Amino acid sequence: MGAGTRMLARLALAGALLGAAVASAAPVAVTVTNHTRPTRCAEEDNVTFTLSAPGIEQFRVEALQPAYIGAIRDNHFAPDFSGCDFSGRGNAADPHYTFTPRHKVLYQGRRTRIVGITLPSFWRPARVPVRVAGRADTGFHLIQIFRKTHGHFVESMVLYPADGYWRIKPLPAPGLRDSGYGSSFLVGPIENEGRPVVDIASIDITPAPLSVVLNFVQGGRAVATLEKIDTTRTALRFTLLPGSSGRRPFAMLRSMYVAPHNADVSEVRWRDGTNSAGRAEPLPAVTTLYATDVRFGRSVPSRHNTSAPDMRFSDFQKDR
């Protein structure tokens, strides 16, 4: 066992021990703040929700099938630029750094495949070292993780090392060959460089059981462990080492909302620990809330990314 593999095993063990230490504690509430701005462009991440609280050391992030998943007949994935104008801001205004394209299988197992992709251009110059099953590489813009289902591999999550974004989704629901991504999220020390980012110094991935260690440029790390992946949900448990300071968000949801029928997120459902029934509001009506469990989702089918999952953040834990 190499030094890198031993270190990864120790970090995963630290996360597991911390989980055991706080698992019996009651979930705590965090501050969820809506920074969304209006847009008519379905390809613009205009939705931003921050999650903040001091001392958070563990929480769960889930991708859940939308309530209407069984009624989908037309599963729309195609981009929609009909209401877009990127002049002076947004994706078209981003810097473009050039790279030599690559597509490399970093791990191939019976049920899991991990692929690294370097794009011809990207908006940030960072080349983040990545270690997968003890093998080192660098410079990937996407780390794709596939899970085998019904005889073929389906992408279930992707991590962007150069800016820290995650996207996850459940395995396809019965009757669908695949499902779309929708919202993305960030975990760690979030900075603003024209858009929110997390600067990652290095990444260590253990394929089976799946765990991902993010070592941050500013210090500290996050350990993500796969709790569940099936046709109803994909669930990751995050352990922050050290816990959140409370001076900045420890997590952020990024998404798109034009109208209820054209959105990756159109409503927010949450519990605050005092009302077991929970509450729900349309996304534009939400400002700041305190939640032990918050779900960003849709009840009305969207004409864009129709099968994209709802995103839920829950089980926030502190070291008491």
User: Of 131, 274, 144, 155, which Cα lies nearest the Cα of 213?
Assistant: 131
pLDDT given for residue 293 in this prediction: 96
pLDDT tens digit string along 219-267?
999 999 999 999 999 999 999 999 999 889 999 999 999 999 999 999 9
pLDDT given for residue 302 in this prediction: 84
Give whole-number Cα distances, 99 to 120, 127, 140, in Å.
5, 10, 10
pLDDT given for residue 306 in this prediction: 86
Q: At 22, is the pLDDT very low, low, confident or very high (cuts 50, 70, 90)?
A: very low
The number of beta carbons lying within 10 Å of the beta carbon of residue 186 is 24
Backbone angles phi, psi at 81, to 5 degrees: -100, 15
Q: Is 283 helix (H, G, I), strand (E, B) or coil?
A: helix
User: Of 190, 246, 240, 183, which Cα lies nearest the Cα of 31?
Assistant: 246
pLDDT given for residue 276 in this prediction: 67
pLDDT given for residue 198 in this prediction: 98
Q: Looking at 67-76, 171-180, 289-298, which range is the least confident one?
A: 67-76
Give whole-number Cα distances, 257 to 41, 42, 69, 266, 285, in Å.
9, 7, 19, 6, 13
Q: At 11, is the pLDDT very low, low, confident or very high (cuts 50, 70, 90)?
A: low
pLDDT tens digit string along 101-124?
999 999 999 999 999 999 999 999
Selected residue with higher pLDDT from 207 and 96: 207
Q: Under a CB-based contact definition with an 8 Å cutoff, are residues 241 and 15 in contact?
A: yes
Distance CA 79, CA 99 (A): 24
pLDDT given for residue 227 in this prediction: 98
Judged against a pLDDT cut of 70, whether residue 77 lies above it is answered with no
Mean pLDDT over each residue of the chain, to the nearest integer: 88
Distance CA 75, CA 52 (A): 35
Amino acid at 231: T
pLDDT, average across residues 43-67: 95
pLDDT given for residue 1 in this prediction: 47
pLDDT tens digit string along 181-201?
999 999 999 999 989 999 999
Q: At 25, is the pLDDT very low, low, confident or very high (cuts 50, 70, 90)?
A: low
